[in-house]
Amino acid sequence: MLQIQPTKTMTVRVYDPAMCCSTGVCGPSVDTQLVQFAADLQWLETQQVRVQRYNLSQQPDAFLQNKKVAGLLQAFDEKALPIILVNDEILVYGQYPSREELAQALADAKERSQVKPQAPSTSSCCGPDSNCC
Protein backbone atom coordinates (compact mmCIF):
# COMPACT_ATOMS: atom_id res chain seq x y z
CA MET A 1 0.00 0.00 0.00
CA LEU A 2 1.31 3.45 -0.92
CA GLN A 3 1.97 5.83 1.94
CA ILE A 4 3.19 9.39 2.02
CA GLN A 5 5.12 10.80 4.97
CA PRO A 6 4.73 14.57 4.63
CA THR A 7 7.08 16.71 6.72
CA LYS A 8 5.15 19.90 6.06
CA THR A 9 1.70 20.43 4.65
CA MET A 10 1.67 19.19 1.09
CA THR A 11 -0.99 20.62 -1.20
CA VAL A 12 -2.57 19.24 -4.35
CA ARG A 13 -4.65 21.69 -6.36
CA VAL A 14 -6.95 20.39 -9.08
CA TYR A 15 -8.36 22.70 -11.74
CA ASP A 16 -11.22 20.78 -13.36
CA PRO A 17 -13.01 21.60 -16.61
CA ALA A 18 -16.58 22.86 -16.39
CA MET A 19 -18.75 20.00 -15.14
CA CYS A 20 -21.78 19.53 -12.96
CA CYS A 21 -19.86 17.60 -10.27
CA SER A 22 -16.35 16.35 -9.62
CA THR A 23 -17.29 12.83 -8.50
CA GLY A 24 -18.07 11.45 -11.96
CA VAL A 25 -21.41 10.00 -10.89
CA CYS A 26 -23.70 12.76 -12.08
CA GLY A 27 -25.56 12.89 -15.36
CA PRO A 28 -26.68 10.00 -17.55
CA SER A 29 -23.40 8.06 -17.47
CA VAL A 30 -20.70 7.39 -14.89
CA ASP A 31 -17.18 8.62 -15.70
CA THR A 32 -15.04 5.87 -14.17
CA GLN A 33 -11.85 7.93 -14.52
CA LEU A 34 -13.37 10.72 -12.41
CA VAL A 35 -14.67 8.22 -9.86
CA GLN A 36 -11.16 6.77 -9.48
CA PHE A 37 -9.55 10.22 -9.30
CA ALA A 38 -12.03 11.35 -6.62
CA ALA A 39 -11.12 8.22 -4.62
CA ASP A 40 -7.41 9.00 -5.10
CA LEU A 41 -7.93 12.52 -3.75
CA GLN A 42 -9.78 11.14 -0.73
CA TRP A 43 -6.85 8.77 -0.17
CA LEU A 44 -4.46 11.75 -0.28
CA GLU A 45 -6.48 13.46 2.43
CA THR A 46 -6.05 10.38 4.65
CA GLN A 47 -2.29 10.84 4.12
CA GLN A 48 -2.50 14.40 5.56
CA VAL A 49 -2.25 16.01 2.12
CA ARG A 50 -4.31 19.15 1.64
CA VAL A 51 -6.51 18.88 -1.45
CA GLN A 52 -8.12 21.90 -3.13
CA ARG A 53 -10.35 21.41 -6.13
CA TYR A 54 -11.71 24.10 -8.46
CA ASN A 55 -14.41 23.74 -11.11
CA LEU A 56 -14.23 26.12 -14.08
CA SER A 57 -18.01 26.60 -14.15
CA GLN A 58 -18.24 27.32 -10.41
CA GLN A 59 -14.94 29.06 -9.53
CA PRO A 60 -13.59 30.77 -12.67
CA ASP A 61 -11.66 33.36 -10.63
CA ALA A 62 -9.42 30.63 -9.16
CA PHE A 63 -8.24 29.82 -12.70
CA LEU A 64 -7.34 33.44 -13.37
CA GLN A 65 -5.63 34.04 -10.02
CA ASN A 66 -3.04 31.30 -10.53
CA LYS A 67 -0.52 32.49 -13.15
CA LYS A 68 0.58 28.97 -14.13
CA VAL A 69 -3.01 27.83 -14.65
CA ALA A 70 -3.93 31.01 -16.52
CA GLY A 71 -0.85 30.60 -18.74
CA LEU A 72 -1.75 27.02 -19.65
CA LEU A 73 -5.32 28.05 -20.43
CA GLN A 74 -4.08 30.90 -22.58
CA ALA A 75 -1.75 28.57 -24.49
CA PHE A 76 -4.00 25.52 -24.83
CA ASP A 77 -7.52 26.78 -24.05
CA GLU A 78 -9.73 24.26 -22.25
CA LYS A 79 -7.69 21.38 -23.70
CA ALA A 80 -5.24 22.08 -20.85
CA LEU A 81 -7.82 20.95 -18.30
CA PRO A 82 -7.63 19.32 -15.91
CA ILE A 83 -4.52 20.93 -14.45
CA ILE A 84 -3.01 19.36 -11.35
CA LEU A 85 -0.47 21.22 -9.18
CA VAL A 86 1.58 19.73 -6.36
CA ASN A 87 2.89 22.40 -3.99
CA ASP A 88 2.26 24.98 -6.73
CA GLU A 89 4.28 23.07 -9.34
CA ILE A 90 2.53 21.68 -12.41
CA LEU A 91 2.33 17.89 -12.20
CA VAL A 92 0.20 17.27 -15.28
CA TYR A 93 -2.33 18.96 -17.50
CA GLY A 94 -4.88 17.68 -19.98
CA GLN A 95 -5.43 14.43 -18.07
CA TYR A 96 -5.91 13.07 -14.57
CA PRO A 97 -2.87 11.41 -12.98
CA SER A 98 -2.95 7.96 -11.39
CA ARG A 99 -2.62 7.43 -7.65
CA GLU A 100 0.95 6.26 -8.22
CA GLU A 101 1.80 9.44 -10.15
CA LEU A 102 0.34 11.57 -7.36
CA ALA A 103 2.27 9.65 -4.70
CA GLN A 104 5.53 9.94 -6.67
CA ALA A 105 5.04 13.68 -7.22
CA LEU A 106 4.45 14.21 -3.51
CA ALA A 107 7.50 12.12 -2.61
CA ASP A 108 9.58 14.17 -5.05
CA ALA A 109 8.23 17.44 -3.60
CA LYS A 110 9.05 16.24 -0.09
CA GLU A 111 12.59 15.36 -1.16
CA ARG A 112 13.08 18.78 -2.80
CA SER A 113 11.86 20.54 0.33
CA GLN A 114 14.44 18.70 2.44
CA VAL A 115 17.44 19.60 0.27
CA LYS A 116 19.42 22.41 1.85
CA PRO A 117 21.29 24.76 -0.47
CA GLN A 118 25.04 24.90 0.08
CA ALA A 119 26.82 28.18 0.55
CA PRO A 120 28.91 29.15 -2.49
CA SER A 121 32.64 28.75 -2.16
CA THR A 122 34.57 31.99 -1.70
CA SER A 123 37.73 30.71 -3.36
CA SER A 124 38.36 29.68 -6.93
CA CYS A 125 40.41 26.65 -5.86
CA CYS A 126 39.07 23.19 -5.18
CA GLY A 127 40.60 23.07 -1.71
CA PRO A 128 43.93 23.38 0.10
CA ASP A 129 44.89 19.72 -0.31
CA SER A 130 43.48 19.05 -3.76
CA ASN A 131 46.41 20.29 -5.91
CA CYS A 132 43.93 21.37 -8.56
CA CYS A 133 45.01 25.03 -8.59
Q: 16-28 pLDDT, tens per residue? A: 999 877 666 676 7
Are 100 and 34 spatial neighbours (Cβ–Cβ below 8 Å)?
Answer: no
Within-domain flag for 68: yes
Q: Which domain holds residue 71?
A: 11-114
Residue type, 27: G
Would you say 49 and 103 are in contact if contact means Cβ atoms under 8 Å apart? no
Helix ranges, the chain (H)? 32-46, 60-65, 67-76, 99-114
Beta-carbon contacts of 68 under 8 Å, excluding residues fewer than 6 positions away, are: 83, 85, 88, 90
Give the C-alpha separation, 34 to 21, whole Å. 10
* Mean pLDDT along residues 110-132: 64
Say how many domains are in the chain. 1
The residues, ordered by sequence, that sit 6+ positions from 2 with a Cβ below 8 Å of its Cβ are: 99, 100, 103
Q: For residue 41, what pLDDT is reported?
A: 97
pTM score, whole prediction: 0.78
Asked if the structure places residue 4 within a domain, the reply is no
32: CATH: 3.40.30.10
* Span 45-92, pLDDT tens digits: 999 999 999 999 999 999 999 999 999 999 999 999 999 999 999 999
Taking 60 as the threshold, does the pLDDT of residue 124 lie above it?
no
Quick check: is 44 in a domain?
A: yes
